[in-house]
Structure 1
Amino acid sequence: MSSTLPPEPVADTPETAADAVFHGIVQGLAQQRFVPGQRLVEVDLAAQFGVSRASVREALQRLAAEGLVELFRNKGAAIRTLSPQETLEVLDVAERMTGLLARSAARAIAAGAPRKPIEAALAQLHEADRGQDQDTFAGARRGLYRALLATSGSRELRRLLPSIHMPIVYAQHRPATLQQVRMRDYQAMCQAILAGDEAAADAAGMQHVRNVREAIARRLQ
């Protein structure tokens, strides 16, 4: 979620105490308040989020089901760490899904969907990029993906995108050039989407993830 995002989990407004913990940990990954391999202690999380330990356990079960957290018998939980191969597999899935999201949003724009939500989200992303604040940039990136999902109107994409483990990828691999890569790519992708060009939007979305993969691969080497 996260991240990617490439897609990352897109809901920021918790409805229950367990939601608050769930989204807090996902967003904490994007903001480096939580890191891969970090142990998650129920009592500490309950105090941090101001919820009951039952709510924490529910959130951890959901995070484990999403593949973001590993649960260990009698040893608690920890943020999952991805191997290099697992990282590349996540990026393979994210490449296809990001292209599909961009294509779907472009199709909707061509059919008359309003352009303003995407334009506003992109403007906020540019502002965050100029401020060089990673937390603000992460929030603006999530806002852009929410705008693209809302424009696409696809229930399947809304269901599937949050399950891709981009929050862990971004938390685990942070090349110095990654934000520059993403900003340039988001601009190109949104330009194609706002033009209603499905093929160009699809290609730009997939190329974005390829560029992220290349930056991460250089770091792994």
Structure 2
Amino acid sequence: MDKPSRAASDTVFYGVLSCLEKQTFVPGQRLIEADLATAFGVSRNSIREALQRLVAEGVIELLKHKGAVIRVLGFKETMAVLDVAELMSGLLLRSASMNREAQKPRDVLEQSLQEMVDADTVRDDLSFNRSRRQFYRALLDLADNRELRRLFPMIGMPLVYAQYRLPSLQQIRIQDYRLFLDVVLHNRVDVAEDIGRRHVQNVRACICENYSRR
């Protein structure tokens, strides 16, 4: 794939993920190539390339007679995603906490967390999600692990959060991200992995409680 084609594919790939966060797209929704090409201003070939990437990362699936559809996670599938996310989050935070030198990502962590708190206060979900992405990018910068950077976005959490839009999840994030920040700023390597994993455990407990009420 040449650079212009890759850039166009990226526009669609990240655009679909962004639309999931904004609730412009929802799980189970059909994605029509012509509509996507118009919405993102790219060629049909670029749309197909992006859709194949989204299939590979488990965000969409190609169904006979329906085409590309945003994947709907069953409860068991959601738990499987969270099992992987728990391990990866522990590794991410432990790796990030070992970095004693890079100051800029630390500054970004502090700023992003404050922006999330501010966004939550005014119920600005778009700003909250944008700052959350910046927060995790800073953690990945601190972790400085190429494989982790490659694999972490593929876990499937965007689908989980798209299906479970629970107000309590946002509060869990803010509380746990404060612990993340403390771990990184004070290089608390000894507890980092446990705190990273506990965050996903908290998310799992919240989702399970919600599911049990249905």
When normalised by structure 2's length, the TM-score is: 0.92
Decide which moves more: 123-132 or 67-76: 123-132
- The CA deviation at 1:15 is 5.9
Paired residue total: 206
Do 2:97 and 2:189's aligned partners in 1 also have CA atoms closer than 8 Å? yes
5 Å-filtered alignment, 1:171-186, equals 171-186=162-177
d(CA) in 1 for partners of 2:190 and 2:69?
40
Are the equivalent residues in 2 in contact too, given 1:101–1:157 (CA < 8 A)?
yes
One-letter amino acid matched to 1:164: I
Larger relative contact order (CA 8 Å, sep ≥ 6): 1
Which structure has the highest helix share of the two?
A: 2
* Equivalent residue number for residue 151 of structure 2: 160
Partner residue of 1:55 out of 37, 41, 46: 46
Equivalent residue runs for 1:80-99 within 5 Å: 80-99=71-90
Task: Report the Cα offset of residue 74 of structure 1.
Answer: 4.3
Is 1:206 matched up with 2:203?
Answer: no
Question: Is the contact between residue 125 and residue 144 of structure 1 (CA under 8 Å) also seen in structure 2?
Answer: no
TM-superposed CA distance for 1:52, in Å, is: 1.4
Tell me which residue corresponds to 1:113: 102
CA contact (8 A) 1:149 1:158 kept: yes
Q: Percent identity?
A: 50
Instruction: Provide the rounded CA distance (Å) in 2 between the counterparts of 1:45 and 1:84.
Output: 29
- Could you tell me how far apart the structure 2 residues matched to 1:188 and 1:15 are? 37
User: Could you give the per-residue CA deviations for residues 16-70 of structure 1, whole angstroms, max 9, x where no partner exists?
Assistant: 1111110000111122111111100111111111111111111111100111110
1:170 aligns with 2:161: yes
* Unpaired segments ≥5 residues, structure 1: 1-13
2 CA distance for matches of 1:60 and 1:100? 29
Matched, 1:133 2:124: yes
1:187 to 160, 178, 194: 178
C-alpha RMSD over aligned residues: 1.5
